[in-house]
Amino acid sequence: MYVKTIRILTKQYVELDVITPQVEAIVAESGVQNGMVTVLTKHTTTGITVNEALECLESDIAVALEQFAPEDRPYSHARMLKDYGSTAGNPTGHLKALLTGNHCHFLIQEGQLQRGGAQDVYFCEFDGPAQRNILVIVEGQP
């Protein structure tokens, strides 16, 4: 198994970042020819999703998620968290992450990610700006 971490400093409260090139580069350096890659965010207010990398879709996705979890709703999570020593202000991030999920998988054949022509890997920030870590886990035969 070959594991690498992609580190991202997000700049906005909500942002969708295409990370396909970084994932493909890690698969290439792993030397795995036939196997699977998993892309997994280590955070609970971020997501990993696969979609078409179009500005219009990014806007529609952000709006749809905002409608699903609007900022001005009275969330139970808005409270002091004793084990953090700080106030939780990010319930919407947790709920949006629920929809996108926290990982994706791709098949690797002959060293290439087998993704459809419209498929890109997105890292989704729902509580930025923040410092984020994404695991890329490559498994298979060299």
Return the amino acid letter for 66.
E
Of the candidate spans 31-39, 58-66, 74-82, 94-102, the one that interacts with other proteins by CB under 8 A turns out to be 74-82
Binding to other proteins in span 14-53, by CB under 8 A = none
Q: Which stretch binds other proteins (CB under 8 A): 21-29, 57-65, 100-108, 126-134?
A: 126-134
- DSSP class per residue in 9-60: E--SSSEEEE-HHHHHHHHHHHT-SEEEEEEEES-SSEEEEEE---HHHHHH
CB of 124 to other proteins, least distance (A): 17
Binding span for other proteins by CB under 8 A among 29-37, 60-68, 71-79, 98-106: 71-79
Inter-residue contact 48 to 123 (CB < 8 Å): yes
97's tokens: 């992450």
Report the interface residues with other proteins, using CB under 8 A.
9-13, 72, 74-75, 78-80, 83-87, 89, 128-131
